[in-house]
Amino acid sequence: MFSQPFGQVLRYSYVTAPETGQVELVKTDIMEDFIEALIPISICVVLPALIVWLIGRVKQNETNRKAEIMLKALDNGAKIDTDFFKSSSGSKTIKERLLKRLTGACLTSLLGVAFLVGGILICNATSWNIEDGPMCLLAPVGGILLAIGMALFIVYFVGKRMLAKEIEAEERQLTEGK
């Protein structure tokens, strides 16, 4: 356990004992409850905010470096490329983006099926007791992953049908440009 600067902070509560039915006074440590609540909050709130900030910072640094290069090129009188600030991720074709969605759909669906089957098997072995541990949560997580995978499959097939003409035009443009 860790030392607390102001001593132990306790909370007293009344609990009915299931065996005897008597009401008992129980001491619990508030700091332990606080630490238990702090971990999910940090994972669900602070971590995503930190990731978004970090991605924004990387993009801002990239733009600042490109602007600095452009200013030096202007000072030296060099010819400036107009496509310099275009992002490199915009160069993917429609077909490549659709295939990326298909890959994500396959991976998510397979993980969903694996978690669903594993969760059902494990929970059947433990008589579906949530108290036995977090393993019984595999089945709901598997169901969610399977639903996301099915949604990605739908997006792929609908997008493929709707964008068929654009994909053909893009392929013709690529073959003519070579």
Dihedral in degrees, nearest 10, Cα atoms 151, 153, 156, 161: -100
pLDDT for the residue 112: 95
Question: Does one domain contain both 119 and 169?
Answer: yes
Question: Does one domain contain both 29 and 101?
Answer: no
Question: Does one domain contain both 63 and 98?
Answer: no
pLDDT tens digits along 29-46: 666 777 777 888 888 888
Question: Does one domain contain both 63 and 28?
Answer: yes
The average pLDDT across 106-126 equals: 89
Is the distance from CB of 87 to CB of 111 less than 8 angstroms?
Answer: no
Question: Does one domain contain both 51 and 126?
Answer: no
pLDDT tens digits along 117-176: 988 888 777 766 656 566 677 888 899 999 999 999 999 999 999 999 998 988 888 888
What is the share, in percent, of the chain residues with pLDDT greater than 70? 76
* Domain boundary residue, one of 64, 89, 114: 89
* Domain boundary residue, one of 73, 89, 105: 89
Question: Does one domain contain both 101 and 85?
Answer: no
Q: Which of 66, 65, 155, 49 is nearest to 108 (CA)?
A: 155
> What's the total number of domains in the chain?
2
Question: Does one domain contain both 29 and 80?
Answer: yes
The average pLDDT across 1-21 equals: 63
Neighbours of 115 (CB within 10 A): 20
Question: Does one domain contain both 67 and 137?
Answer: no
pLDDT for the residue 113: 96
Range of the domain at 158: 92-178
Residue 11: strand pairing partners: 28
pLDDT tens digits along 60-76: 999 899 888 888 888 88
What residues contact 28, with CB distance under 8 A and at least 6 apart? 10, 11, 12, 13
* Domain boundary residue, one of 43, 61, 89: 89
What is the share, in percent, of the chain residues with pLDDT greater than 90? 31
CA distances 120 to 108, 112, 128, 133, Å, are 18, 12, 9, 14
Confidence of residue 23 (pLDDT cuts 50, 70, 90): confident
Question: Does one domain contain both 129 and 74?
Answer: no
pTM over 0.85, yes/no = no
Question: Does one domain contain both 114 and 80?
Answer: no
Question: Does one domain contain both 116 and 152?
Answer: yes
DSSP annotation string for 11-25? EEEEEE-TTT--EEE
Question: Does one domain contain both 85 and 15?
Answer: yes
